Amino acid sequence: MYFTEITLKNFRNYKEQTVSFHPNVNIITGNNAQGKTNLLEGLYIMSLGKSFRTNKDVEMIGFEGDFSCVKSVYIKEGRERSIEIILSRQGKSIQIDGCKAKKSSDLLDNAYIVCFTPEDLKIVKEEPEKRRKFMDRELCQLKPVYYSTLARYKKVLMQRNSLLKSESLNNELMEIWENNLADYGSRIIIERMNFVEKLKIISKQLHSSITDGKEELDLFYESSVPVKGSREEIKEAFIKKLNKERKRDIFRGSTGSGPHRDDLRITIDGKDVRNYGSQGQQRTAALSLKLAEVRIIQEEKKENPALLLDDVLSELDKKRQKFLINSLSDVQLFITAAETKGELWNSLPERKVFVVENGRVTNDTQVAG
Ligand SMILES: Nc1ncnc2c1ncn2[C@@H]1O[C@H](COP(=O)(O)OP(=O)(O)O)[C@@H](O)[C@H]1O
Ligand SMILES: [Mg+2]
């Protein structure tokens, strides 16, 4: 799939702007704080209905109005399709191909987008939460039902946590919450483990190519719950663990085990990259993970996702830049960069260049190929 057009109304610093895109490469340049990332953000919300840089939808509404409207047109399976999202302080409303969606999750499985920012380069060395988010985002795109399971899990987790902190403990209610937590939790764990198995195979190959076979990348899903056996068995083991740890959890006022505490362990040549990897290795690992994300969508959905590269190329050395660009010739790219002169840019034959200035986008005809 690829985007042909986006219209932003009162979105971030855009008052009203329509941009027509190139099916292959779109380069977005301009000085700092002009609206380059905002443009990518407008595209990104088409995939999950959420931003990649804030959890608060209202932050995206332009300062001068009460709501924003973002409409995109894209081609999927040879057909023109559209998504329109209206953000207001009361919530959001979504239209898919002109029909109002009943719930936000109806948006999933329409437009596929992978986003790669300098934040993602740190995915390997930062806190486990970043890696859980990475898995969750991808799984939401791959399996819409995962999105609702995750939402239910989070809700029950909050319910159990508030019960842990209440003065009189209702054991009957606690058992219901723990059963539900284990039910949703075991589904999340199984999906993440399956995902990590696929991710492992693809990212291992990519990492080996980038390092000319010198390094071996490996991934492991590290769960706080015993994960042997079927989903039912994982669920039972999770219930037992919650039960056993209840006293400790009451003392801490929070739930110590479950997928909200799990991690994705990443090793190079058997050593944990988080603790022992050089910055270069960490970046190569992150690049391999991100490219693997693209490949998994291609394999599972038989569709090309659009890839957003926000200020990330300049963070990579020439060799990794080249690898990235060369391995993505089949994917629509949106690349923001302050500087667009030089060898790398000239190697992108078909492209459109946009200049962003104070929330306005113009085509740069002089540089366009
Ligand atoms: N909700 C909003 N309403 C209006 N302007 C906003 C809003 N959020 C951010 N901005 C403005 O957007 C600009 C930053 O845009 P951004 O796309 O992040 O810049 P860059 O071009 O460096 O990527 C800043 O000038 C900021 O004040
Ligand atoms: Mg930016």
Which protein residues have a CB closer than 5 Å to ligand 2 (ion)?
A: 36-37
Q: Within 10 Å of residue 202's Cβ, how many Cβ atoms? A: 18
Per-residue pLDDT reduced to its tens digit, 244-261:
999 999 999 999 999 999
DSSP string, 31-94: STTSSHHHHHHHHHHHHHSS-SS-S-GGGGB-TTSSEEEEEEEEEETTEEEEEEEEEETTEEEE
- Which ligand is in closest contact with the Cα of 38? 1
Ligand 1 centroid to 13 CA: how many Å?
5
User: Could you give the C-alpha distances from 105 to 156, 168, 334, in angstroms and in order?
Assistant: 19, 37, 25
Per-residue pLDDT reduced to its tens digit, 172-194:
999 999 999 999 999 999 999 99
Q: Report residue 293 as tokens.
A: 């994300």
Query: Domains in the chain, ordered, with CATH?
Result: 1-112+303-369 (3.40.50.300), 151-284 (1.20.1050.90)
Per-residue pLDDT reduced to its tens digit, 55-67:
999 999 999 999 9
Ligand 2 centroid to 356 CA: how many Å?
11
Q: Report pTM.
A: 0.94
Ligand 1 contacts CB of residue 338 (under 6 A): no
Ligand 1 atom showing the smallest separation from residue 30 Cα = 21
Ligand 1 contacts CB of residue 35 (under 6 A): yes
Mean pLDDT, the chain, integer: 94
94 near 101, Cβ under 8 Å? yes
d(CA 346, CA 337): 14
Residue 207, pLDDT above cutoff 60: yes
Least confident of 62-76, 115-129, 263-277, 314-328: 314-328
Averaged over 282-300, what is the pLDDT? 96
Give the helix/strand (H/E) hosting 352.
Answer: strand 351-357
Residue whose pair of structure tokens reads 């509404």 in the numeric block: 61
Ligand 1 contacts CB of residue 36 (under 6 A): yes
